[in-house]
């Protein structure tokens, strides 16, 4: 923790061609990443997709089979973990059970040759920053999950590392506490100024916290971009499916950005041209779908006629599941407002969306 509240400069991190195999299984395949100093990058993906393996190679707990890791221009691929000066927050906190909270936080300072007295003083300062000063002398077992998480955070940033790694740090907390901690972590990271690599499988968490998100799938990064990029311009159906709620319609490409499916035709911006006759998908976000009574249907493109199969009440929104006449399903999320028209199960409706609100993907 900077004593006079100066901000640490984050480190630039570069991974190039990093590959890791466990036996015959490829855990991570040729990962390339480039982080700007101070950037908050989240690795998002299902479990087993290689995000934690990547994190472990950055931390120095694992050695890549090939490729290099560079921190602030210095190659650290083979540097042992203890010499890397990278802060790590673990999913289970990994606090030392035999040391009090403040001694846990002082640990990295003592390892760097700071005197016991000075280390404790700075550790108290760091605990103050996470609002845990009053629990300084308690052992981890006497702290709640959220408090342990704060101690773990304080311990990871107290020695002012240029890079902070967090492996599902909020995974063990309940939803409400998780939301509070998300904001707190963001606030702390901004204050400390470190570059952050954050691992999660919770897409909401990723969208909330990150500057950029890397979507992992089966050991490769499917797409790297801002939350907006991923949400509005998904590169693959995997990304579209993983990030946010979406309807993915499968049909046949007409070669011009138009896709024809069972009982519907869609046209929109294309990500990579798909030859005529090849399978193609159309991604539509449910909040971009409008519903109207079936007899009002005007256009035949970007429209599907069907029957309301289910109505799900979400509070401020209502989600309709529309079973199209051709057998495909489209979801529509409609905001409740003063003049909204409500549909019931079994109503005949027409679902429409605009061309700019859908994305056409190959396969």
Partner 1 sequence: MTVGTVPAPRRRGLLGLGGGGWALVLPLVLFLAVFFLYPLVQMARESAAGGFAAYESILTSPVYRKVFGNTLTIAAATTAICLVLAYPYAYVMNRVSPRMRLALMAFVLLPFWASLLVRSFAWIALLQDSGLVNQALQALGLTDDPVSLIRTTPGVLIGMVHIMLPYMVLPLYTAMARVDDRLLLAASSLGANPRRRFVRVFLPLTLPGLAAGCLLVFTISLGFYITPALLGAPSQAMVGEVIAEQVEQFGLSTASALGIVLLTGTLVILVVIALLAKRLGRSAR
Q: Restricting to residues 44-63, name those near partner 1 by CB under 8 A.
A: 59-61
Of 10-18, 96-104, 299-307, 324-332, the window that binds partner 1 (rule: CB under 8 A) is 96-104
Minimum Å gap between C-beta 116 and partner 1 is 12
Q: Is residue 268 near partner 1 by the rule CB under 8 A? A: no
CB 49 within 8 A of CB 218: yes
**Ramachandran assignment for 297, one of left (phi > 0), alpha (psi -120 to 50 degrees), beta (any other):** beta
Looking at beta carbons only, is 126 or 361 nearer to partner 1?
126
**Of residues 137, 174, 245, 256, which one binds partner 1 by CB under 8 A?**
137
Looking at beta carbons only, is 107 or 238 nearer to partner 1?
107
Q: Cα separations (Å) of 349 from 292, 306, 322? A: 6, 6, 8
**Of residues 9, 14, 70, 94, which one binds partner 1 by CB under 8 A?**
94
Minimum Å gap between C-beta 88 and partner 1 is 4
- Give the pairing of strands 74-75 and 66-71: antiparallel
The pattern of x and - marking residues 9 through 48 that bind partner 1 according to CB under 8 A reads: ----------------------------------------
Q: Is residue 139 near partner 1 by the rule CB under 8 A? A: yes
CA 17 to CA 117: how far, in whole Å? 44
For the chain, state the CA radius of gyration.
25
Looking at beta carbons only, is 61 or 193 nearer to partner 1?
61
Q: Binding residues for partner 1, how many (CB under 8 A)?
A: 30
CA 148 to CA 138: how far, in whole Å? 10
Q: Is residue 157 near partner 1 by the rule CB under 8 A? A: no
Q: Cα separations (Å) of 149 from 176, 206, 229? A: 14, 18, 31
Looking at the DSSP bridge assignments, the partners of residue 265 are 260, 303
**Of residues 86, 119, 151, 196, which one binds partner 1 by CB under 8 A?**
86
- Count Cβ atoms within 10 A of the Cβ of residue 131 and give its class: 0-12 exposed, 13-18 middle, 19 or more buried: exposed
Q: Is residue 172 near partner 1 by the rule CB under 8 A? A: no
CA 80 to CA 39: how far, in whole Å? 24
Q: Where do contacts with partner 1 occur on this chain (CB under 8 A)? A: 59-61, 80-88, 90, 92, 94-100, 103, 107-108, 111-112, 137, 139, 155, 159
């Amino acid at each position: 923790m900077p004593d006079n509240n100066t901000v640490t400069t984050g480190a630039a991190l570069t991974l190039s061609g990093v590959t890791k195999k466990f036996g015959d299984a490829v855990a991570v395949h040729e990962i390339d990443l480039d982080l700007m100093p101070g950037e908050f990058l989240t690795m998002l993906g299902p479990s087993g997709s290689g995000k934690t393996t990547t994190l472990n190679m950055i931390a120095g707990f694992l050695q890549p089979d090939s490729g290099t890791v560079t921190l602030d221009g210095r190659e650290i691929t083979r540097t042992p973990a203890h010499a890397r000066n990278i802060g790590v927050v673990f999913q289970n906190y990994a606090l030392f059970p035999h040391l009090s909270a403040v001694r846990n936080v002082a640990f990295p300072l003592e390892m760097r040759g700071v005197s016991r007295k000075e280390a404790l003083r700075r550790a108290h300062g760091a605990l103050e920053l996470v609002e845990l000063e009053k629990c300084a002398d308690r052992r981890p077992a006497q702290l709640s999950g959220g408090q342990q998480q704060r101690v773990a955070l304080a311990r990871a940033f107290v020695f002012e590392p240029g890079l902070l790694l967090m492996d599902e740090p909020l995974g063990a907390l309940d939803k409400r506490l998780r939301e509070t901690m998300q904001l707190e972590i963001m606030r702390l990271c901004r204050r400390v100024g470190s570059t952050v690599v954050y691992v999660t499988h919770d897409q909401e968490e990723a969208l909330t916290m990150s500057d950029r998100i890397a979507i992992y799938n089966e050991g490769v990064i499917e797409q790297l971009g801002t939350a907006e990029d991923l949400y509005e311009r998904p590169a693959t159906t995997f990304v579209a499916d993983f990030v946010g709620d979406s309807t993915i319609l499968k049909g046949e490409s007409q070669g011009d950005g138009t896709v024809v499916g069972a009982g519907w035709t869609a046209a929109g911006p294309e990500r990579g041209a798909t030859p005529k006759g090849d399978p193609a998908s159309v991604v539509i976000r449910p909040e971009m779908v409008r519903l109207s009574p079936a007899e009002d249907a005007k256009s035949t493109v970007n429209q599907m006629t069907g029957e309301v199969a289910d109505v799900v009440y979400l509070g401020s929104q209502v989600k309709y599941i529309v079973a199209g006449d051709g057998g495909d399903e489209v979801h529509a999320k409609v905001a409740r407002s003063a003049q909204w028209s409500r549909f019931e199960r079994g109503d005949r409706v027409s679902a429409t969306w605009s061309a700019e609100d859908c994305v056409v993907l190959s396969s």
